């Protein structure tokens, strides 16, 4: 199977940008990695070669078809590039793992068969009202059909992931001076951490929960996870893919229970923003997922809101360089992991970390189990 950079390329007319942004966000929520020029292209660099490369390295291709798209020079060029890739007369045997889909917003396209078209939005007359006004029910059905079509022959292993973080709007609704039973007010904590005020903190959050930027990073957590998984999948067959929770996990308890069972029944990842635990909605879902903390299939990560202090980072680099290859299984464990190794604790910063590591190791010894912890708590 080819190594694609993106799951799908979204082609659209600039007049339909709001629809393209809505589709891109919806596909990301389903764990897909779409290419959308507005989100991916670097300002100041030639667009045409970059777009052609993005089309070539995307597994699937979706066209948001409208009267504007029919007249768009860019849509026509992008279509031509992808057609050349999947046309057996041009590129040899048809690449059956690639999908070519027209998402019909309006109009007709007689040049392509109905098998390549998804007409639900056109039939619902959704286009005239605009992307922001589209009925959520048919929209979710359309997104599901697209995802199902693109994953029909997907051999990758789903890896459910929950990101417990607040949005920027939820952050602004907090009282930063409210004293808490578990600790200081948020403003006091931010001052103690040297992170300024809640207004400064707001820069690290966005409209979606996955817009949160840990480590003071320019990348959001979704981009960090995608980059990490690309590295993890290097040489791994079949590869893993993220499977985010249904957005209704936050609003619908029946859906939340189903998503929790999915996390418990698969190898899964729960990523926690510690500062978001000041928000009761996030904390409620944190408690709701507490069974994951007792599951051997769960990987729990609480990520810091700031980068590692420079002295600590330099010391960590020295340890890694000096102790190679003996600590390599800690820094870069193989997949699959089929060799015996010690329970390593390298980034230990205080006595409580020493105590935790000792109790974990002794507890496993008395339990008669291997060195794999009940839950994999990864510290940063």
Measured from the Cβ of residue 280, the count of other Cβ atoms closer than 10 Å reads 10
Considering the chain, what percentage of its residues have pLDDT values greater than 90?
Answer: 49
Confidence (pLDDT) at 2: 67
Confidence (pLDDT) at 377: 41
pTM, two decimal places: 0.76
Run of H or E including 117: strand 117-118
* Residue 1 binned pLDDT confidence (cut-offs 50, 70, 90): low
CA pair distance 265, 267, nearest whole angstrom: 7
Residue 366 in tokens: 């008395």
DSSP tag of 105: S
| Range in 90-99, 168-177, 179-188 with the lowest mean pLDDT | 90-99
Left, alpha or beta for 267 (phi > 0: left; psi -120 to 50: alpha)?
beta
Pinpoint the residues of the chain covered by CATH 3.40.50.10140: 6-150
Measured from the Cβ of residue 37, the count of other Cβ atoms closer than 10 Å reads 19
Q: Mean pLDDT of all residues in the chain?
A: 86
Residue with tokens 């992991």: 337
Q: What is the mean pLDDT of residues 32-48?
A: 69
* Residue 87 binned pLDDT confidence (cut-offs 50, 70, 90): low
CA pair distance 295, 303, nearest whole angstrom: 20
Considering the four listed CATH numbers 1.10.150.120, 2.40.50.140, 3.50.50.60, 3.40.50.10140, the one that applies to the domain covering 6-150 is 3.40.50.10140
The pLDDT tens digits for 57-85 are: 999 999 999 999 999 988 998 888 888 88
Nearest to 236 by CA among 246, 228, 224, 244: 228
Which long-range contacts (C-beta less than 8 Å, at least 24 apart) are formed by 145-154?
145/118, 145/120, 146/27, 146/62, 146/101, 146/103, 146/118, 147/27, 147/30, 147/32, 149/99, 149/101, 150/7, 150/8, 150/32, 150/59, 150/60, 150/99, 150/101, 152/99, 153/96, 153/97, 154/241
Residue 110 in tokens: 């007689």
Helix, coil or strand: residue 14: helix
Nearest to 294 by CA among 257, 260, 339: 260
* Residue 379 binned pLDDT confidence (cut-offs 50, 70, 90): very low
The pLDDT tens digits for 232-260 are: 888 888 889 899 998 889 999 999 999 99
CA 86 to chain CA centroid, Å, is 28
* Residue 45 binned pLDDT confidence (cut-offs 50, 70, 90): low
The answer for residues whose C-beta is within 8 angstroms of residue 256's C-beta and 6 or more apart is 248, 249, 250, 285, 288
């Amino acid at each position: 199977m080819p190594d694609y950079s993106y799951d799908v390329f979204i082609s659209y007319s600039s007049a339909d940008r709001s629809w393209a942004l809505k589709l891109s966000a919806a596909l990301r929520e389903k764990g897909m990695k779409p290419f959308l020029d507005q989100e991916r292209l670097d300002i100041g660099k030639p667009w045409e070669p970059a777009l052609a490369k993005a089309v070539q390295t995307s597994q699937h291709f979706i066209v948001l078809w409208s009267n504007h798209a029919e007249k768009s020079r860019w849509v026509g060029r992008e279509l031509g590039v992808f057609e050349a890739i999947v046309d057996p007369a041009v590129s040899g045997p048809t690449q059956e793992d690639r999908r070519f889909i027209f998402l019909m917003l309006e109009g007709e396209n007689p040049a392509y068969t109905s098998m390549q078209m998804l007409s639900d939005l056109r039939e619902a007359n959704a286009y005239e009202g605009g992307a922001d006004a589209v009925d959520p029910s048919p929209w979710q059905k359309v997104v599901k059909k697209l995802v199902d079509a693109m994953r029909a022959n997907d051999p990758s292993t789903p890896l459910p992931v929950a990101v417990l973080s607040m949005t920027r709007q939820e952050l602004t609704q907090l009282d930063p001076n409210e004293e808490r039973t578990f600790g200081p007010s948020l403003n006091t904590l931010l001052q103690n951490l040297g992170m300024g005020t809640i207004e400064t903190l707001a820069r690290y959050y966005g409209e979606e929960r996955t817009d949160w930027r840990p480590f003071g990073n320019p990348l959001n957590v979704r981009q960090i996870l995608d980059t990490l998984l690309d590295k993890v999948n290097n040489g791994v067959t079949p590869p893993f893919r993220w499977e985010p929770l249904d957005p209704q996990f936050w609003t619908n308890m029946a859906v939340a229970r189903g998503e929790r069972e999915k996390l418990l029944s698969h190898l899964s990842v729960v990523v926690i923003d510690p500062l978001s635990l000041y928000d009761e909605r996030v904390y409620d879902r944190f408690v709701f997922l507490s069974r994951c903390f007792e599951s051997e299939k769960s990987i729990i990560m609480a990520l810091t809101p700031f980068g590692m202090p420079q002295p600590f980072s330099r010391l960590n680099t020295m340890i890694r360089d000096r102790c190679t290859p003996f600590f390599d299984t800690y820094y870069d464990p193989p997949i699959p992991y089929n060799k015996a190794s010690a329970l390593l604790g390298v980034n230990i910063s205080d006595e409580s970390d020493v105590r935790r590591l000792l109790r974990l190791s002794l507890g496993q010894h008395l339990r008669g189990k291997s060195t794999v912890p009940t839950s994999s708590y990864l510290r940063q």
